[in-house]
Amino acid sequence: MDPALRELLADGDPDEIIEAIVRLAPGTNELPEGVCEISRFAEIATVRIRRSDIERVWAHPSTRSLKAPRALQFDGPEMSPESLSQLFDDGVRPRVPLGNRGKGVVVGVIDWGFDFGHPAFRDQNGRSRIRALWDQGAKGPSPRFGYGKVHTRADINAALNTSRPYTALGYHPGKSDRGAGAHGTHVADIAAGTTRPGGGGVAPEADLVFVHLASGPLSGLANLGDSVRLLEAIDFIAEAAGDQPFVINMSIGRHGGPHTGLTLVEQAFDRFLEAAPDRLLVQSAGNYYLARAHTSGRLQPGGTHVIEWQTNPGDRTPNEIEIWYSDRDTFEVQITPPGANKAVAVKLGDARGLYQKDGSEVARLYHRAYDPNTPDHHIEAFLGPEAPSGTWKIELKGQIIEDGRWHAWIERDSGSRRNQSRLPNSSADPRHTIGSICNGFLPIAVGAAAEDSPTARPAPFASSGPTRDGRQKPDLAAPGFRIQAAKSTPRWSSSPRPRTVKMSGASQAAPHVCGIAAAMLSDLPRGLGIHDLRAHLFNLARPWQRPRQADLPRLGAGLLSSRLIAGGDTEFSKE
């Protein structure tokens, strides 16, 4: 069973309804009894299950895989002193609207904090361009999904006609403002903001659908949002788009997972894109190059390797590390807490807890055989808030070895960056640091380039491929360094205060590509499937000029830039 799912079983009300993701066995279409389907992606579905039924549903012959919700977050780039010296004073050049400017296309953005009162999301007459805004964290009628509140265009326009629109609508973007403005407002403007003095997006005439992501009640296992509600957000946007072409931007992620494109979330993305024409998903590849969150190695028969996992004094948030290795191998694994002389060993297929003297459990180590989706072996350690801080040692030993390769990722902290556990500088490997849900086969994963030029280097923080199974990710790169776009109204203001701000990250590169994709969809004939659309988008990219070989795993196949496309002879419809 999925270790995160076992964590859900550890405590809680047996009658509590749990959100989960299930993959059905081949040839099966019916869910086990007592499982309520919410959103369907071929053989994968988001579901609701009573906590006491989890083990029964997991063991049911119809169930091939059952996964707990996993936390998703946005983040700013992590910058070392050396990287700060690479800052550019002017940032990149402005975005340029393209082609039919996204007319007739829907741009969906799944993020946090959308300033519906900002001129970036209103037409020239002041009316809202937002078709729908689903606030997943609000209380309100949402019969299909059972949570959140949907604000329609009529609701938003009515609120805009008042002196206190945020109060009138019951939604304020400032609740997601960490000091520089809300992430979602900035991202959405880059993709499809209304053209105005000093600002605007690549597809300014597209309709907009926003989803403010939120997590379910998971007792600390999720923070700002989770994987179940992400899939349901995609389903909502597709429903809101109706028969119109659409592209969805997701500038969100996490560290862990197998990094082979075979998580249930990534498989659902692929099924979703295969299901109908005229749709694209664009993802940020991550800002994790400097995060010291990945390490890797290769064991020989009988060989050992010790992973040192450093947690911070005073950290009272949960911590998590995952290790993945081939199903052709068998490792022995043991974990030693800080300051302890005795290790706790866990055999393949087993799990063990670590306890304080008073008998309370502070950590748990799982060693799961044959993950049903990869099908590799999986080691995962969870540290509770009361776990001792310092250096935890995880020793791997090669027992039966045919391959020997392994990779470990420390998960992003659910609290703050200062609480983030890390690896020592000497063992951290910045390769294979693409976000955990960005390794799929059909979405477009976008890396951050430092400049709007085919000679650009990666932004200092830009995550690196390849995937664990050796494929190139990111697919493409776009400008992602010091990008100016809309800044949301601060929390203390009850009326819109339109401003702009510069932000950096793959979060800013992805919506640039999303806007280009929306403009492309606006110009192309209807009915093109995902493989044709990917080919058209790749054809718009400029090849890198004189790239450093070490940079290519962070940049992908080329640069997508609205400015360069507009200044060249490229047409969206050109074969």
Burial (CB < 10 A; 0-12, 13-18, 19+), residue 179, is exposed
Contacts of 29 (CB under 8 A, 6+ apart): none
Residue type, 249: N
Between the CA of residue 230 and those of 46, 248, 332, 544, what are the distances in Å?
10, 11, 35, 33
Nearest residue to 327 via CA among 395, 433, 439, 404:
404
Exposure on the CB side of residue 245, measured as CA atoms within 13 A: 25
Nearest residue to 296 via CA among 287, 288, 305:
305
The answer to whether the CB of 223 falls within 8 A of the CB of 317 is no
Q: Is 569 a catalytic residue?
A: no
Nearest residue to 21 via CA among 11, 9, 213, 54:
54
Q: What is the CA radius of gyration of the chain?
A: 23
Nearest residue to 476 via CA among 563, 537, 549, 432:
537
Q: Is 183 a catalytic residue?
A: yes
The one catalytic residue among 60, 151, 172, 183: 183
Distance of CA 148 to the CA centre of its chain: 20
The answer to whether the CB of 319 falls within 8 A of the CB of 383 is yes
Helix (H/G/I), strand (E/B), else coil: 512: helix
The answer to whether the CB of 414 falls within 8 A of the CB of 220 is yes
**Whole-angstrom Cα distance, residue 25 to residue 236?**
25
The answer to whether the CB of 406 falls within 8 A of the CB of 327 is no
Exposure on the CB side of residue 282, measured as CA atoms within 13 A: 34
**Whole-angstrom Cα distance, residue 390 to residue 387?**
10
Question: Which residue(s) pair with 199 in the sheet?
Answer: 196
List, as one string, the DSSP characters of 93-126.
Answer: PPP---TTTTTT-EEEEEES---TTSGGGB-TTS
Nearest residue to 199 via CA among 209, 186, 181:
186
Helix (H/G/I), strand (E/B), else coil: 402: coil
As a residue count, the chain comes to 575
List, as one string, the DSSP characters of 265-314.
Answer: HHHHHHHHHHHSSSEEEEEE--S-TTS--EEEEEPPTT-EEEEEEEE-TT
The one catalytic residue among 2, 53, 75, 111: 111
**Whole-angstrom Cα distance, residue 344 to residue 350?**
12
Q: Is 111 a catalytic residue?
A: yes
Phi, psi at residue 184, to the nearest 5°?
-65, -35
The one catalytic residue among 39, 507, 522, 562: 507
**Whole-angstrom Cα distance, residue 123 to residue 129?**
6
Q: Which residues carry out catalysis?
A: 111, 183, 507
